[in-house]
Chain A
Amino acid sequence: MTTTTTVLSARPSFVETFQRLRLGPYLFVLGVAAIDYVVIGPNQFVNALTIGAIYALVALGYTMVYGIIELINFAHGDVFMVGAFTSMFVLTQALGQDGPIDSPGMLAVVLFINFTITMIALGILGAAIERFAYRPLRHAPRLAPLITAIGVSFILQNIIQIIYGPSPINTPQVIDPAARVEIGGVSIGVVNIFTIVTAVLLMIALQMLVSRTKIGRAMRSTASDRDAAQLMGVDINRTIAITFFIGSALAGAAGVVQGLYFGNIQFTLGFQAGLKAFTAAVLGGIGNITGAALGGFVIGFVEVTAGALGFFVWGQAAVFAVLIITLVFRPSGLLGQQLGERT
């Protein structure tokens, strides 16, 4: 008898054990992926994973911020958009790039510098948005910061529109979009692999940070009970600022890969992507980091599958149908908190 079983009244049945492991959501996502692979074929599948990885990175920011201050940060999609522009700026202005880089060493250096600068810059932007737009409203009714978030969203869009104009502009694809490798008989774009691997590594890093480190514990305890966290010595303002910094830095990374993958960006980019990433966060269970990652990939599958089956114009509708279905039938999402607060 382990300690876990003694609390939860004797002899769990197989079904109960299964439910307790909570593998259901993961199996669901794997099932969706497997069926999708058969339906849309390997090429579109890789495409779905790539787009899903970008949504997942953005969704992490939504879910982290919601988890800690219960705010749907509607400006987050635009933070992602600013990330794509920042990356373009760093590549063209600071690093003088205009197209594919052949030397792998050079490419690695360029990408490293680009990710570092963009993520730090976006982290600072996110923390500044929190400091000046949301913190003054922390004790205001919940609608106030929500409206403010929409305002911040417009401000970011307008700033970029003023600087770079309303039309889509090209951004250097430093990873040659034509470069492909063969894996298991399937030819896959190098940029796709790079995007997926980068996203997964960042998610693992985030998960480690949140679950293993002191700052991660501070974030989780602040999310769980702000007053109690303060009584432990946690500086709430600093912790919330760090949460915004990390979430926005991840959106910055997503902006970098967005540019590398698609090759052009526009000031409206954040609106749609933001809503889809938000859908991913809700689907995964808002406030849950693993859920946001899973949700991002599912949304990628839904969107790409709709297109691959000839319903391209319905892609958006399909994504938002997922949002509505989730909210109606499983509002807590795939991995939503099931452990109630007990006092």
Chain B
Amino acid sequence: MSGQGVTTTTQPSSTSGNGAAGDVVLELRDVHTYYGKIHALQGITLEVREGEIVTLIGSNGAGKTTTLKTISGLLHPRAGTVHFRGRDVSHTPAHKLVRDGISHAPEGRRIFSRLTVMENLQMGAYTRTGREIDENVEHVFSLFPRLAERSGQKGGTLSGGEQQMLAIGRALMARPKVLLLDEPSLGLSPILIQQIFGIIREINAQGTTVLLVEQNAQQALEVADRGYVLQTGRVILADTAANLAANPDVRRAYLGEI
């Protein structure tokens, strides 16, 4: 039942485009994750190479968020493995994986509403010490000048777009090797969506590998190098982003074409 028909797993050599893809940093092998009795991931196999932007697309309930949670350690697979930089991290708790270099900006932003913007950013650097933290704050402020203006305000008073910026900025404060982004465009205006995707490109260009989950498949496939299409807890397609965007089935199902 697992790994069925994914003939493209051996094609990362065909990854074209920006950022010469390096070694595999993240690898899921036949991962099965459950919520209680619900079999949410039914054998997910995928890999992310250094320097890539990889996107997971699929409809609601396909298992995209669960996949990210399984990678970041909020959930643990009942079968299969997650390897991060060659090490099996399937059962490593989330708070340790941050230290290792996986940073997860979860769905719904999940910022700390009663902490100030600055404190939220400091929480992002929780695993780190030293003076470079201040430089990182400056870096996040240069990506999102709005946050600098709001730095003393409580997170809960920010608008949706600002909260999303804070969620991404906070995740960057850990200086991750791999950044997991869950629905960064959800609920934002078209202009803000453009901005956010521009920033995702920029973050990637600065050397962070990105695994992006999106409902907005169109935008996601535009920024990504490769993509996986998920359906009911399985990978049904894996290809370069360009090929996926051109695939008639994908266009019909996820890009709103009739």
The listed residue (B73, B115, B149, B157) touching A217 by CB distance below 8 A is B115
Q: A232: which of B150, B153, B174 is its contact (CB, 8 Å)?
A: B174
- In the complex, the answer to whether A339 meets B157 with C-beta atoms within 8 Å is yes
Counting chain B residues whose Cβ lies within 8 A of the other chain, the interface size class is 35 or more
Say which residue of A214, A224, A236, A343 sits within 8 Å of B109 (CB atoms). Answer: A343
Let me know if A231 and B106 touch, CB within 8 A.
yes
A230 within 8 Å of B by Cβ? yes
Beta-carbon contact of B112 and A220 below 8 Å: yes
Within 8 A of A (CB), among B157-183: 157-158, 163, 170-171, 174
Interface string of B11-50 (1 = CB under 8 A from A): 0000000000000000000000000000000000000000
Interface positions of B from 110 to 163, Cβ below 8 Å from A: 110-115, 119, 122-124, 126-127, 149-150, 152-154, 156-158, 163
Chain A 315-343 interface mask (CB, 8 Å, partner B; 1/0): 00000000000000000000001011111
Min distance, Cβ B105 to any Cβ of chain A, angstroms: 8
B164 smallest CB distance to A (angstroms)? 11
**Inter-subunit contact A224/B126 (CB<8 Å):** no
Of the candidate stretches B90-98, B221-229, B230-238, B241-249, the one touching chain A is B90-98
B93, B126, B154, B171: which contacts A218 (Cβ < 8 A)? B126
Contact yes or no, B123 A342, CB < 8 A: no
Please tell me if A13 contacts chain B, counting CB pairs below 8 Å: no
What 1/0 flags go to B69-97 for Cβ under 8 Å of A? 00011100000000000000000011110
Inside 8 A of B154's CB, which chain A residues have their CB?
A: 339
B170 neighbours in A (Cβ, 8 Å): 232
Residue in B156, B158, B174 whose CB lies within 8 Å of A233: B174
> Is A224 touching B153 in the complex (CB atoms < 8 A)?
no
User: Are the C-beta atoms of B106 and A221 separated by less than 8 Å?
Assistant: no
Cross-chain pair count, CB within 8 angstroms: 94
| Chain A residues positioned under 8 Å from B174 (CB to CB) | 232-233
Chain B residues near A342 (CB, 8 Å)? Answer: 113, 156-158, 163
B98 in contact with A232 (CB, 8 Å): yes
Q: Determine the distance from Cα of A235 to Cα of B96 in the docked complex, in whole angstroms.
A: 8
Task: Give the chain B neighbours of A7 by CB distance below 8 A.
Answer: 153, 157
Whether A227 sits at the interface, judged by CB under 8 Å, is yes
Which residue, of B93, B113, B170, has the highest number of chain A Cβ atoms within 10 A? B113
- The yes or no answer to A17 lying at the interface (CB within 8 A) is no
Check if B99 is an interface residue, CB within 8 A of chain A.
yes
B108 within 8 A of A: yes
Interface presence of B104 (CB below 8 A): yes
Query: CB of A137 within 8 A of chain B?
Result: no
- Residues of A near B149 (CB, < 8 A) are 3
CB of A14 to closest CB in B, whole Å? 21
A188 within 8 A of B: no
Among A227, A228, A232, A235: residue with most chain B CB under 10 A: A232
Report the bound CA distance from A218 to B106 in whole Å: 18
Smallest distance from the beta carbon of A205 to chain B beta carbons, Å?
20
Q: A217 to B170, alpha carbons, bound, how many Å? A: 14
Determine which of A229, A231, A339, A343 lies in contact with B104 in the assembled complex, contact meaning CB atoms within 8 Å: A231
**7 closest A-B pairs by CB:** A233-B98, A233-B127, A228-B110, A230-B94, A224-B112, A233-B126, A232-B126
Can you name 6 A-B residue pairings with CB atoms under 8 Å? A217-B123, A229-B123, A232-B98, A235-B95, A341-B113, A342-B113
